[in-house]
Amino acid sequence: MDNRLYSVAQIRATEAAAAESLEPGALMRRAGRAGADAALELLGGARERPVLVLAGPGNNGGDALELAANLGEAGVDVVVLHLAGSGKVSTEAAQALARARASRANFADVAPDVRDWALVVDGLFGIGLQRPLEGRYRDLVSAIDGVRCPVLALDVPSGLDADSGAVVGPNGVAVHATHTITFIGDKPGLHTAEGRDHAGQVQVAGLELDEALFEPAQACIGSPALFAASLAPRRQNSHKGQFGDLAVVGGARGMTGAAVLAARGALYAGAGRVFAVTIDPAPAFDPVHPELMFRLAHDFDFAGRVLVLGPGMGDAMEAMRALGHGIDSAAPIVLDADALNLVAASTELQARLTRRQSATLVTPHPLEAARLLGSSAAEVQADRLGAARRLAKRLQAVVVLKGAGSVIARPDGEIVINPTGNPGLATGGSGDVLAGVCGALLAQGWPAWEAAIGAVWMHGAAADRLVDEGIGPVGMTAGELPAAVRAVLNGLIRERGQTRAR
Query: Is 187 annotated as belonging to a binding site?
Result: no
Name 87's Cβ contacts closer than 8 Å, sequence gap at least 6: 57
Q: Contact 188/172 with Cβ under 8 angstroms?
A: no
Q: Exposure of 104 by Cβ count < 10 A (0-12 exposed, 13-18 middle, 19+ buried)?
A: middle
| 127 labelled ligand-binding | yes
268 has binding-site annotation: no
Please tell me whether 432 is known to bind a ligand: yes
Return d(Cα 89, Cα 59) in angstroms, integer. Answer: 8
Cα separation, 159 vs 400, in Å, equals 27
Q: 445: annotated binding-site residue?
A: no
Q: Does 365 belong to an annotated binding site?
A: yes
Find out whether 344 is annotated in a ligand binding site.
no
444 is in an annotated binding site: no
Q: Most distant CA pair in the chain: distance in Å? A: 82
397 is in an annotated binding site: no
132 is in an annotated binding site: yes
**Does 490 belong to an annotated binding site?**
no
60 marked as binding residue: yes
328 annotated to a ligand binding site: no
Q: Is 396 in a helix, a strand, or coil?
A: coil
Q: Is 129 annotated as a binding residue?
A: yes
Would you say 61 is a known binding-site residue?
A: yes
For the four alpha carbons of 443, 446, 448 and 454, in that order, the dihedral sign comes to negative
**Strand, coil or helix: what is 157?**
coil
403 labelled as ligand-binding? yes
Q: Is 431 annotated as a binding residue?
A: yes
Q: Collapsing DSSP states into helix, strand and coil, what is residue 309? A: strand
Q: Are 398 and 359 in contact (CB under 8 A)?
A: yes
Annotated binding-site residue? 358: no
Q: Is 126 annotated as a binding residue?
A: yes
Q: Is 320 helix (H, G, I), strand (E, B) or coil?
A: helix
Q: Which H or E run contains 327?
A: helix 317-328
Does residue 171 have a known ligand-binding role? no
**CA–CA separation, 262 and 82 (whole Å):** 54
User: Residue 317, Cα to own-chain centre: how many angstroms?
Assistant: 36
Residue 150, CA atoms < 13 Å, CB-side half-sphere: 21
Alpha-carbon gap, residue 496 to 454, rounded angstroms? 14
405 is in an annotated binding site: yes
Could you tell me which residues are annotated as the binding site for (6S)-NADPHX?
59-63, 126-132, 137, 155, 258, 312, 365, 432
Could you tell me which residues are annotated as the binding site for AMP?
402-406, 431
Could you tell me which residues are annotated as the binding site?
59-63, 122, 126-132, 137, 155, 158, 258, 312, 365, 402-406, 431-432
Could you tell me which residues are annotated as the binding site for K(+)?
60, 122, 158
